[in-house]
Every structure is written in structure tokens, then in C-alpha cells.
Chain A
Amino acid sequence: MARVSGPPNLLVTTLHKAVDWARTRSMWPATFGLACCAIEMMATGAAHNDLARFGMEVFRASPRQADLMIVAGRVSQKMAPVLRQVYDQMSEPKWVISMGACASTGGMFNNYALVQGVDQVVPVDVYVPGCPPGPQSLMHGILTLHEKVMSGELARR
């Protein structure tokens, strides 16, 4: 990422890379815990598997202050417009992680009540499978997202 050029206390990089680095190091999630996956999301933020080491323990309630929406849980037909509204209220750049089987594809509930995959409603960057995915799986998903952002793969939509 950096080339040491000249005296050793000088770091040179591109603005793009520096911005990406800053974005990944304090990507604040919005509280969008819906069902069982929310419990595992809270466990990821708790002391045992600490999200704070990535700068992410502040789950912002207001979507205006959040960068990342982790859709944790099953999205019902009644909740889908709310989901879209919260997503729209987030300011760019924003990312979405679809956590769990129900958020990714509707999970085991292939019926009238659920939206079969949250990507019918919002664009998703990373899907984390599991029912519910343990904290380590979620953390892997988050770090995958960090890598994607750092590598510049997710350009502005």
C-alpha cells in the first residue's frame, strides 16, 4: 500500500487507497437486527469476539450515521419497505451484508410471508451463510467486505 520514499518517516500513497483504508477501519454498522441472527451479531460485538478491534462496536441507531447495514434475520413482507427506507437514508458510501440464510435467500421459510432474499430489496455486497452464522463466520464476512473495499473492487454505485 505504501512506498517508503526519502526519509523513513514519510508515507506515500494514493488518495484513493488512503480513503479506502479509512473507510474500512471505522465502518459503523446500523442496528438492523431482526431475528436470531441479531443475537449472534450482538455476540460478535461482545467481549468474546470483539468487533471493537475493527472499530465497529458502535452500532449506530440512526442510519444517517452508519456506513454498513448488516441485515441480520428474516425480512418479512411488512418489513421490506422499512428496510428499503432505512437503506435509502444511509449516506454514501454504504455497504450491505446479508447475514444468515433467511436474509440471503429466504432460508428455510420459502413461504408467503418472507422476502426470499434481501437482495430483492437492497443491493448486497457480502452474503454470510449460516443459520445463524456464528460470530466467526460473521467476522469473516465483515473482513471479506473490508478486503473488497480496500482492493477497490466495490467502486461507487
Chain B
Amino acid sequence: MTGPLAVLAERFPELEFGTVHGDHVVRVERERLAEVTAAAREAGFEMFVDLCAVDYLRRPEGRFEVVVNLVSIEEPQRIRILSALPGSDPTAPSITGVYPGANFYEREAYDLFGIEFEGHPDLTRILLPDDWVGHPLRKDTPVGSVPVQFKHPDEDTT
């Protein structure tokens, strides 16, 4: 481990830093997400890349997962910070204070999954209409396909 990853690992010896398919991955509890992300930024992961959510439906650690991807341009190196959330209480601290670019991403996770980010300045729907009910990317929501409607069923189409 070199570079910003080593700095971060030194700072948080209690966290497990692993490698999955060549990606550096670290799991944190959700209460520490903002703290670890801020430390990652100081350690050298200057650029915010991505924040997304995954719905694992039936998983003992927690139904949802918030995934934060950061990159260090100097090194170059990537890191992925994962944080599990329980299905009954899908809230997580917002990291917009660390990276303002997480703003739209957290709104998207809220819109599609229903995960609420505490401390987000404007947590509203972003991709779906404002009056939409439900969170379509959750696994217990059907995909919403309709049976194909043939426009002129009584015409002879041969």
C-alpha cells in the first residue's frame, strides 16, 4: 500500500482495507462515513468521483449500501468506501460538506432508493417528477413494464 491509501490506512488502523478485483475497498460504519471521507480527502484523494447506493434486499449486514468512489490524481489511485445501512432506517450522513460534488449524487440516491442523507442542503427528487410516489430502484419495486399495446389490433397486418 502506497500513497494516499497508506496515509489513510495509518490514520484508521481499525478499518479493514481490502482489494476486490484490483480495486481498493474499505468498509466503514455509517456514522463514520463523513469522517472517513474527509480524512480520505486530506490523505490525498482530491477528486470526488461517484456516490451511489445498492439494494441488497436480504443481507445480514444491512439492506442498503452507500458506495463512495474517490480518486487521487497525483498517485494515481482509487478508493472505494462502502457503508451498510439497515433497511428499516436508511439514513446516512451527507458528504456534501467534504465534496460539494456529492450533492446531485445524494439526491439521486434519495430519489431512486429512499436513502436520506442528513445534512444535505436540498434533499429533493432529482430524476423523477416531484410528485412521484415510491423509489423505483429498490428491489421490491417492479420494473413497471406494461403489456405491449398494438395500436390497430383489428387491421389485417399481412
Chain A–chain B contact at Cβ < 8 A: yes
A112 to B137, CA, bound (A): 10
Give A124's nearest chain B residue, CB to CB: B151
Contact B143 A112 (CB under 8 A): yes
B129 touches A117 (CB 8 A): no
Distance (whole angstroms) from the CB of B15 to the closest CB of chain A: 37
Q: Which of A77, A110, A111, A116 contacts B128 (CB 8 A)?
A: A77
Q: How large is the interface on A (under 10, 10 to 19, 20 to 34, 35 or more residues)?
A: 10 to 19
The contact of A77 among B129, B145, B148, by CB within 8 Å, is B129
- 8 A Cβ contacts from B127-147 to A: 128-129, 132, 136, 141, 143-146
Interface SS, A side = loop
| Chain A min CB distance to B9 (Å) | 41
Closest residue of chain B to A77 (Cβ to Cβ) is: B129
| A33–B128 CA distance with the chains assembled, in angstroms | 20
Interface status of B88 (Cβ within 8 A of chain A): no
The answer to whether B149 has its CB under 8 Å from any CB of chain A is yes
What separation, in Å, do the CA atoms of A78 and B129 have in the docked complex? 5
**A interface residues with partner B (beta carbon < 8 Å):** 77-78, 105-106, 110-113, 116-117, 119
Binding site for A on B (CB under 8 A): 128-129, 132, 136, 141, 143-146, 148-149, 151
